[in-house]
Chain A
Amino acid sequence: MKLLFTPGADGIGTLVLSNPPHNTFDQPLFAERSLVERVLDLPGQKALILQGEGRHFSHGADPAKLREQLRGPAFQHEMDRGKELLALIADSPVPVLALVRGGCLGAGLEIALCCHFRFAASSALFGFPEVGLGLIPGFGGPLFLDGIATRRAAVDLLLSGRMIGAAEAHSLGIVDRVCAAAALEQSARGYLQDLVGKRTVSQVRAVMESLRNARRLPLAEALRRETELFMGVARGE
């Protein structure tokens, strides 16, 4: 899948998943890793909007193409490399907001779930259709849902495979804000501008690193590192 990146004058870049019409992908490593790394780590950037080209966010992996690879010896490894891309986004040095229009399904939903925020058009659709194909979500969906939706909602969505609209996704906590499609982009950009507009790049990065350390490091180490980050911000580094 192609990635199209546009930097923003306000420090808020836009990354577009591009394989219209449904922005599906053929292999687990759905984009070039070095490109994702560079976009997330772009100097001067304070936040990123992730969206799909055209009418849909992404319908995830193409099941037929995926099945062809299942028997290959390298498939497990390929899946791991794909998941690493999601981990890069989850651990991004700047907040990432998934801007969702149309279908956000399967691995596409898993990509949205690894972002920090999800804003959706009222016509957006969410779901994990994998079970209907005799599979299960394989990109960390169950893990990312934990801490976002209740366990009951997670089990329901993962096992039923049913599709839900933006309003229900919002009530389950999967989506942070729902608005009319025409107002979506401005709503997302406005929110991010309020969030990071008055913050320096080093503040944003220090806060994101410390919040990430909360998950990645032992508590004592995360606390020590927070002090260091605080001192760096206080000195204007």
Chain B
Amino acid sequence: MGSEGSPLPPSPRPSPLKGEGGIRLVLEQEGGIARLVLDAPPRNEMGQDFFRTLAALVGTLKDLSVRGLVVHGAGRHFSSGADIDALKAGLAGAQPALAAHALFTATSSLQAITELPYPTVAAVGGCCLGSGLELALACRWRVAAANAVFALPETSFDLMPGCGGTVRLPPLVGRGRAVDLVLSGRFVDAVEAREIGLVDAVVDRRDLLAAARRLLERVAA
């Protein structure tokens, strides 16, 4: 795991930086790298709290003076994505406009990650599904552990990807493959993900974070 780093200094308001909402931001002293940890094990599901916290964190991320950011999951998985039942309940509720607003806020937060002024890499182990994959796609690079599996399964739940997946996928994997992956919702393992351009490298699971750090050091050099 390398240097464990220290949390950010406390802020006056109840702060998301300590790990509420299933996200933890860690600044590593050594190497000047920040880590955004999806921290709701085991699956690191991305609920409403998660996206509220992420939206609140975006400003902090922009102002960080770091050489790069690693986004990863706590434990075995990256993220299983949104809580589909809660999402559907929200969409079926009295105020769909609120659901639309929440969705667009989430999309905007991911876009803010894409626009960060330093390199970003998603270090993906285990499940990387739905909005979890959309978060990984918002990063500039993706490094996968050999046990990683990827999918945008939204169409199987009578929905479609809603946080940039359909927009960010085609340039990476090509027009036809994007149609195949989004409409089928099928799972792709790390080897295929590397073959089709979904990830930039596949490494041993134990080497995942170190490989992500090395990539950042290389591109920042």
Q: Name A's B-contacting residues (CB within 8 A).
A: 90, 95, 115-117, 147-148, 176, 194-196, 198-200, 203-204, 206-208, 210-211, 213-215, 219-220, 222-224, 226-231, 233-235
> Hey, which chain B residues are within 8 Å of A116, CB to CB?
175-176, 179
Contact partner of B167 (CB less than 8 A), chosen from A148, A203, A226, A235, is A226
- A230: which of B103, B108, B111, B180 is its contact (CB, 8 Å)? B103
Q: Do A234 and B111 touch (CB < 8 A)?
A: no
> Cβ of A227: which chain B residues have Cβ within 8 Å of it?
100, 103-104, 107, 162
In the complex formed, the residue of B with least CB distance to A208 is B179
Query: How many pairs of A and B residues are in contact by the CB < 8 Å rule?
Result: 103
**A177 CB → nearest B CB, Å:** 11
Chain A neighbourhood of B161, CB < 8 A? 210, 226, 230
* Most chain B beta carbons < 10 A, residue from A176, A203, A230: A230
Q: Which residue of A lies closest to B166 (CB)?
A: A210
Query: Is B170 a contact of A233 with CB atoms below 8 Å?
Result: no
Task: Select the residue from A115, A147, A148, A196 with max chain B CB neighbours within 10 A.
Answer: A147
The interface residues of chain A lying within 8 Å CB-to-CB of B168 are 214
Q: Which residues of chain B from 157 to 174 have a CB within 8 Å of any chain A CB?
A: 158-162, 164, 166-171, 174
Q: A204 touches which one: B174, B175, B183 (CB < 8 A)?
A: B183
Q: Tell me whether B184 is interfacial, beta carbon within 8 Å.
A: yes
Tell me the bound Cα distance from A213 to B167 in angstroms.
7
Asked if residues B184 and A195 are in contact (CB atoms below 8 Å), the reply is yes
- Which 6 residue pairs across A and B have the least CB separation, nearest first? A230-B162, A210-B166, A116-B176, A234-B91, A214-B167, A214-B170
- Residues of chain B contacted by A222 (CB below 8 angstroms): 167
Looking across the interface, which residue of chain B has its beta carbon closest to that of A225? B167
B146 within 8 A of A: no
